[in-house]
Structure 1
Amino acid sequence: MNDCFRILVPIITCWLLNNAEAVNPSPNFSPSAYSHRHEAGGTGNNHLQEEIDLGTTLVAIKYAGGVVVGADTRTSAGGYVSNKFAYKINPIFRPDFEDPTEVDESDEPSRISSSSSSCVLCRSGSAADTQWLAGLAKQRFQMRKLERPGYRPSISEVAHFLRYQMRQGGGESQFQASLICAGYDSVTNGGQIFGVTPGGSLWEEDNFCVSGSGSTILLGYLDDALQTAKQNFASEYTEECAIALVTKLLRLSIARDGSSGGLVRLYVINRNGLEERTVYPFMDTSTSTAPSVEGAGEKTTHTDLEGFAKPVSGC
């Protein structure tokens, strides 16, 4: 028996040392970096050995009462589409509502909000890294609300927390992530949009923010569509206009960006909370409950030979 212990103890100790990072990750632990180190030299299908990537299109637009955010639903591993209906927008916290003790039947709304702040995180980059960051942020602020009664988190606080996590260690960020943190802030009584770059830079946007592989396709369109916008753009833009613009931007990106695809998933965020909508990108919106988008119902006919000479008969 003693001989067995003498043999097993060094083996177990070596295993624990080699896997200590997986059991108790360091403060700047990166799921994708860990995965790459431990899967190097593996065998099998190539797409199973590649990092799941959220090559994507993220859009956030302010309007008078809040923010509309949207994303496509495609994830890929190299050239392999691993998921056509992924969720790339994660709610971090929602409003806290309390039932009123005495409410007149004519009172609207019929429930009282103790904190009307709502926040979502739009993710692009490594699926492993961004899921880990979203889960960490959600856990942190849920715990703070439980530990500190009356605590009201802000959108800025969430954005700075995410930036701090990405910059831990001082050097280059180990996370492959580009994030948009957006929501309705009860402190400022309006929508807020923050962008966090892969390097850990943080900035606040006045009107809109786009991110992901499809963002370069949309910047020119946005510059043209909003060229007449003034500083009061966000205070005059209506919810319907913001929904229509975000939907159209994602449709354009899905049509041209090879890493964007699937459905259009939207979140309308205001003092009443979060409202999720899902739109098929090329559906005829005139027969659906989704907001109508310019050109969405138009039907065009074309072929790969359009613009070329007609083929010889019989071919």
Structure 2
Amino acid sequence: MALENVCNWQAPEALSPHLPGAGDWTIPRGYDPPVFLQTQGPELAHGTTTLAFRFRHGVIAAADTRSSCGSYVACPASQKVIPVHRHLLGTTSGTSADCVTWYRILKRELRLRALREGQLPTVAGAAKLLSTMLYRYRGLGLCVATALCGWDRAGPALFYVYSDGTLLAGDVFSVGSGSPYAYGVLDRGYHYDMTVEEAYTLARQAVAHATHRDAYSGGSVDLYHVKESGWERVSREDACMLYIRLQETGEQGEETTPTSP
């Protein structure tokens, strides 16, 4: 008699329908994960500001660097824009461990596909792959909200992926507790035909404004640019000093005209 029969062991795929093909994580039998998380799981507090937008010269990704744990600042200089490969970046919002874990899985799967097929998958293909893997873990308490920014054979591309499997294509996305403030700046200044310098200024302005208004965002402002030749890290600037400088220059470098008494 086989040992697995003596121990009444079952293969992982027979234990739960939530397991993705890219992993082998098992879920204990007898547990209803959503109910368990609601009654026993810790209450997680999330806070960040990330954004990305597509324009004529590529895709801009920007984020603050403050990682918060409830009302505490866990790390003032974290990395919220993660390189996936030379032409693909991802912003991270949600639970830090979940985001890092799933980006590691995504990197591995894209690398394996590139070795099998002889070329890297498109940005849409990478977004669809991540969405499919996350979808099979819906209801298990994952918190991953990301914007995939890349350049492939079709040009610049931008996709939003959430941990319930949501997949959206668009030109402008902002995710996190500071996103309402960032959207206010982006909606006012974004247009597809802007220059590179205008895009840099807009991204810096949006994140700096969000860090000023949102208590869970802060630290520095990371700025990345995905171009046809690959991604480039443009700058990391202190968010407070950047906000002050933008205020002093009228945020867009425009001179204020004096008003008559």
The structure with the larger Rg is: 1
Task: Identify which of 268, 273, 280 aligns with 2:225.
Answer: 268
Q: 1:156 aligns to what? A: 124
Q: 2:160 aligns to what? A: 195
Partner of 1:295, secondary structure, is helix
Deviation, 1:198, is: 4.0
Mapped to 1, the partners of 2:24 and 2:53 lie a distance apart of 39
Aligned residue runs from structure 1 range 118-267, under 5 A: 118-149=87-118, 151-168=119-136, 172=139, 174-185=141-152, 187-188=153-154, 190-205=155-170, 207-226=171-190, 233-234=191-192, 236-267=193-224
Mapped to 2, the partners of 1:146 and 1:260 lie a distance apart of 39
Runs (5+) with no aligned partner, structure 2:
1-6, 8-14, 17-22, 28-32, 251-261
Deviation, 1:294, is: 4.3
Letter in 1 for 2:211: I
Asked whether the equivalents of residues 89 and 148 of structure 2 are also in contact (C-alpha less than 8 Å), the reply is yes
Letter in 2 for 1:25: W
CA RMSD of aligned residues (A): 3.3
Runs (5+) with no aligned partner, structure 1:
1-12, 14-19, 28-32, 42-48, 95-117, 227-232, 286-292, 299-315
Paired residues, number: 226
Mapped to 1, the partners of 2:206 and 2:248 lie a distance apart of 12
Q: 1:258 to 1:217 in 2, by over 3 A?
A: same
Asked whether the equivalents of residues 225 and 231 of structure 2 are also in contact (C-alpha less than 8 Å), the reply is yes
Percent identical across equivalent pairs?
26
Query: TM-score, normalized by length of structure 2?
Result: 0.75
Mapped to 2, the partners of 1:280 and 1:269 lie a distance apart of 22
